[in-house]
A and B are shown apart, each in its own frame.
Chain A
Amino acid sequence: MSTLALRIDKNLEVPADAGAVAVLHRIADESNKAIRGGKRIETMIPASRDSANVKRIDVDPGRWWVEATLPSGEIIADEVTVLAGKQADMTLRSSEPSPHEWLGWQHLMGNVEGFETFNHILEVAKRDPVGYARDVISKSLKGRIPDHVRAIVEGTLDTYLPRDITAGEAKPPDPFADAGAPVVRLCHDVDPIGLHGRAAWSGILAPSTLASPQPALKWSDQEGFHIYHFAAPASPPARDFALVEWGPERHIASLPLPWPDAFGGPGPKEVELMVRMHPLDKTVHLGVAVLDREFGTLAGLMTASSLPKARIFVDKARDMLFAKMENRLAAAAGGYVLLATGDPAPGAEWHGWIENLANRFPDLSDGAVLKATQLLRYPKDDKCYDDAKASLFQAFDRGIPYYSAGVAWLLDGLTLFADEDPEANERMKLVHKVAQRLDVSQAFTVIRLSDKAEPT
C-alpha cells in the first residue's frame, strides 16, 4: 500500500487539526494512464509549522490531484506522484502568508487578507490620489482600445492631472496616525432577565458599559489591528459579549464561551477577538475565532462559499460533535452546516441530533432555531409548522443566538408566521431590528450598535 502524507504549512500559535478540507482524486495510474471520474477521497489536513504534523492516507499508487480548501475559502491545488509501497509527502501553502504571525488564525479564518494583498491595500490607502486616478484610467483603457489611442488619451491626462502633485510637498497624511485605539469591554451577563425574551432582544442594542476596558494582547497601530483573548469562566446561563467602541463606532460580539476542550484537556479554549480599524471610511471590523485545534476552523468554513466543504468536516467529525455533545456550541455549528447544505432525503440520522441539541440545552437559542428550521425545511404535515412556530418562540425566549445564522434563520422563520399570528409578528419585529445590524460575514453573532457613519 502507498501513503500520501499531507500538511498545510502555516504559522499558527495554536495548530489546527482541520486546517483545510481536502478532496483527493487519482488522475493517472502507475503507468501514467489518465483516469477520469474516479472515486474521491475527502479528508481534513492539519495546519501548523510542525513538519511532523501530517495526515497520512493510504492510497493507490499513481498521480493524485489534491485540492485543499482553507476556512478562508482559499483553494490550494497541487498534484503529487505516489509510488507503489512508498510514502509521498505533500506540503501545501497559502498563496500569501498572514500579515503577522499573531494574525495567523484570523488569516486562516478569512478575517484578514494575505500579506501582499494587505500591503497593497495599505499602499493604495496612503498613495497620492492623482497618481492613483491616472493608474485607474490607464488600466481601464488597456486592452479595450488600441495602444496608440490609449497613448493619446494618457497624453491628455498630463493637461488635467499633474504628473507629481506631491513634488516638493508633504506626503498625503498617514490615515493611521491619529486613529487611536479601540476600547473593548467584556460584558459578563448572568442576569437571567436580561438574557432572555424581549429584554434580551431590546437590551442587546443598548448594553451596559459598566465593565472595565480589557487590555489588548497584541496590536499594530500602524495597521489598525488589535487582538484580545478571552477565556471567561462563564457557565450557563451566563453570556459573554465583547463591547467594542472606537470613536462613534460601537459593536457588540457574542463570544462563544465557554468553549470546552473536546478531549477533556485543561480547561476551556480561548476565544480571540480581532478589532480592525479602517480610519479612511471610519469603520471597524470585528473577527471572532476560537483557538481550538479540533473545531476552531469550523466557524470559518461555515460561512459563504466554503459551506459544502464544511459539510465534509462535519461528516468526518460527527461522532465527536454529536455523540455526547460535550461541546454544544461546536455541535450547533455542525447543525447549521447539516441543515444549510441539506439532504434531499428526509429522515436522515442527523435530524435526531438536532432534536437532541434543542432539548438538552434549554438555554441555547441556536438549538431551538435549528429544530424549527429543520421542521420548516422537512415538514411532514401541518403540525410540523405549529411545532416549528413553537420552537421559534422558544428560540426567541432563549435570547440572542451565538451564531449569526441563528439570528437570520430565526427572522426568516418568524416571517413565515408573521401574517397569521400577531405574536409571531411582534417577535419578528424585535428580531428584525437586531438582524438589520448583523454582520452576516461572521459566523458568530456580531451586531453594529451605532448608526453607520455618513460618507464623507
Chain B
Amino acid sequence: MPQFLVHDEPAAGPATHVIVIGVGAYPHLKDGTGALTPDHDGMGQLSSPPISARAFADWVIRSFHHPAKPLSTVALLVSAKNSEPFQNSRTGRFYEEIAPATSEMVSEAIKEWKDRGDSNFGNLLIFYFCGHGITEGTDTALLLADYGADQQSSLNGALDFRRLCLGLKRCRATEQCFFIDACRASSRTLTDAQGFAGKVIIQPGRRDPTWEQPVRAPIFYATFNGDKAYGLPDTPSLYTQALMRALADWGADDENGTWQVTTSRLAEALENAVVRKAREFDRLQLTTADGMTKIYLHQLPGNPTVPIYVKSEPPLTSICDAALTYGASGGALMPAPPGGRSGGDWEIEATAGTYDFAAAFPSGEKREVRNMTVRPPYKPVTMR
C-alpha cells in the first residue's frame, strides 16, 4: 500500500495535521477508462483537481505557519490521468508514488489522519477535497476515483461528508477545518439512494464526555448548495487559487498586533475573491460556510498584500479608460499594472499601508485620492 504522508515532522505538543485529496480521473464517468456508470449525471473527467490538490499541499508545506500548532503531517491522495511525483518543498524529498484517491485508500488515509488528531486535544486538523461533489439538502457526497465502479451502488465510491464531519466529533482534536472545492450539484442519485450518501468512514457516535469540549469545525464550501464550482483546465480551480491567496494574505487581520489568518476572516476574503474571479468569466460562484466559528489558522511572516479595486463614478468615464497611478502616501506614484483592468474597475495588489491614487481621464479631467488605508480583505477606492 502506498504511503499517504508527503510531509512528516514529529511534534511534541499540539500540532497541525493536514489531509489533501484531489480527484480528476474518474474511470466510470464520461470519457473515463472504465465502464460508464448509469449514475454519471453528465459528469466527466477533470484536469483541475489534481493540480489544485498538489498546489494546496505545496502551499501548506511551504508556507503554513502556526506558532502554537506547527505543521506536523500532510497526507496527499491524488487521482489524475497521468501520475506525477510530488516534491516536498521543505525537505526536497521526492515522493514517486502518490496514493490514488479511491474509496479504499481515502478510508485508510482518513482513519490514520484521525488517529494523528487523537494524539492531542489541541491539534488542528485540516481537510481539503477537490473533485466532483453532489448534494441534496443537508447531504453531500464527495465522489472518489472509484465512483461508479460498483454499477449497482455507485455511491460506494463516494464519501458521505455529513457523516464524516459527525464521526470526527469523536476525534480528540478540538479544532477541525474543512475545505470542499467541489460542485454541489443536485443529483437524483442521492435522492434515490434514500439516505446513503457514500462510505461512512468514522461512525458517528458519542464523544468521550471526559474529553475537552466543544469541537469547533467550520466547513468552507467553494459554492452554494446546488451550484457549480469552476476551474480552468490545467490550472488550480478558482476557489483553490483564492484559498491560497486568502491564507497567505487576504484573510489576515492584525487584531493582536501581528497579522494572523482566522477562519472568520478567511471566509470574508474567500467570498470576495471567488465572486470577482468567477465574474471575469461571466459566472456566478458564491462561496459559503457552515459552522463558522473563529479558529486561528496561520501567521504571516510580514505584512499582507491586499487587493485594491479602483473605480470611477459618473459623470467620469470608466477608470479603465484613464491613466491610473498609485503609490505609498507621500511617495512617488507609479502606473497601475495594465492587466488589472477588469470590467468596471481596476484591480491593483499592494502591501497593507497607506496609499495615494491619481487618475487622468481622456476628457482631461484629473482626480486624486490621498491617504487611503489599505487593509485586508480588500479595499475599494472610488474616484468622484
Contacts and interface: CB of A to CB of B under 8 A. Distances in A.
12 contacts: A37-B254, A73-B271, A79-B373, A117-B279, A135-B282, A139-B282, A307-B289, A307-B293, A308-B264, A341-B294, A342-B216, A435-B139
B257 A415 contact: no
B213 A305 contact: no
Nearest to A437: B137
B282 A132 contact: yes
Interface of B: 42, 136-139, 162-163, 166, 174, 186, 188, 190-191, 195, 203-207, 209, 213-216, 224-225, 232, 235, 254-258, 264, 267-268, 270-272, 279-282, 284, 287-294, 339, 344, 372-373, 375, 377, 379-380
B292 A95 contact: no
A380 interface: yes
A136 B281 contact: yes
Contacts of A121: 284
B336 to A, nearest CB: 15
A381 B209 contact: yes
A382 interface: yes
Contact of A305 (B137, B225, B268): B268
Contact of B195 (A124, A420, A429, A451): A429
Given A73-B271, A341-B293, A436-B136, A63 B373 contact: yes
Contact of B209 (A63, A379, A407, A411): A379
Contacts of B293: 307-308, 340-342
Interface in A103-130: 113, 116-117, 120-121, 124
B209 A441 contact: no
Nearest to A78: B380
Contacts of B256: 37
A408 B138 CA distance: 7
Contact of B271 (A65, A140, A305, A380): A305
Contacts of A412: 162, 166
Given A40-B255, A75-B272, A304 B204 contact: no
A455 B42 contact: yes
B292 A379 contact: no
A308 B294 contact: yes
A342 B214 contact: yes
A37 B255 contact: yes
B289 A140 contact: no
Contacts of B289: 304-305, 307
Given A40-B255, A308-B294, A378 B214 contact: yes
B122 to A, nearest CB: 11
A83 interface: no
A346 B209 CA distance: 12
Contact of B213 (A40, A73, A377, A420): A377
Contacts of B213: 346, 377-379
Nearest to A310: B292
B209 A308 contact: no
Q: Is the interface of B mostly helix, strand, loop or mixed?
A: loop
Interface string A414-432: 0110111000000001001
Contact of A411 (B138, B258, B270): B138
Contacts, number: 143
B292 A305 contact: yes
Contacts of A451: 188, 191
Contacts of A308: 264, 292-294
Closest A-B pairs by Cβ, 5 of them: A37-B257, A305-B267, A307-B292, A379-B209, A436-B137
Contact of A379 (B195, B207, B288): B207
A339 to B, nearest CB: 9
A27 interface: yes
Given A140-B232, A441-B224, A36 B257 contact: yes
B61 to A, nearest CB: 26
Contacts of A100: none
B209 A340 contact: no
Interface string A127-163: 0000010011001100110000000000000000000
A415 B380 contact: no
A436 B377 contact: no
A341 B281 contact: no
A49 to B, nearest CB: 19
Contacts of A415: 162-163, 166, 204
A435 B281 contact: no
Contact of B225 (A120, A379, A380, A441): A441
Contacts of A420: 205
A47 B154 CA distance: 50
Contacts of B174: 344
A216 interface: no
A452 B186 contact: yes
A139 B268 CA distance: 26
A452 B188 contact: yes
Nearest to A76: B380
Looking at B271, B282, B289, the one whose CB has the most chain A CB atoms below 10 A away is: B282
Nearest to A121: B284
B308 to A, nearest CB: 11
A451 B137 CA distance: 12
Interface string A374-416: 0001111110110000000000000000000001100110011
A161 to B, nearest CB: 16
B373 A440 contact: no
Nearest to B193: A436
A40 B255 CA distance: 8
Contacts of B270: 305
B92 to A, nearest CB: 29
Nearest to A432: B195
Contacts of B209: 379-382, 384-385
B162 to A, nearest CB: 7
B353 to A, nearest CB: 9
Contacts of A143: 339
Given A415-B162, A435-B138, 5 more contacts: A37-B257, A69-B268, A379-B206, A379-B209, A415-B166
A441 B288 contact: yes
A77 to B, nearest CB: 7
B214 A436 contact: no
A271 B344 CA distance: 36
A449 interface: no
Given A37-B257, A124-B282, A436-B138, A377 B214 contact: yes
Interface in A325-372: 340-342, 344, 346
A438 interface: yes
Nearest to A440: B225
A381 B272 CA distance: 43
Contact of A437 (B42, B136, B214, B216): B136
A342 B264 CA distance: 13
Interface string A433-456: 011111111000000000110010
A419 B137 contact: no
A65 B253 CA distance: 13
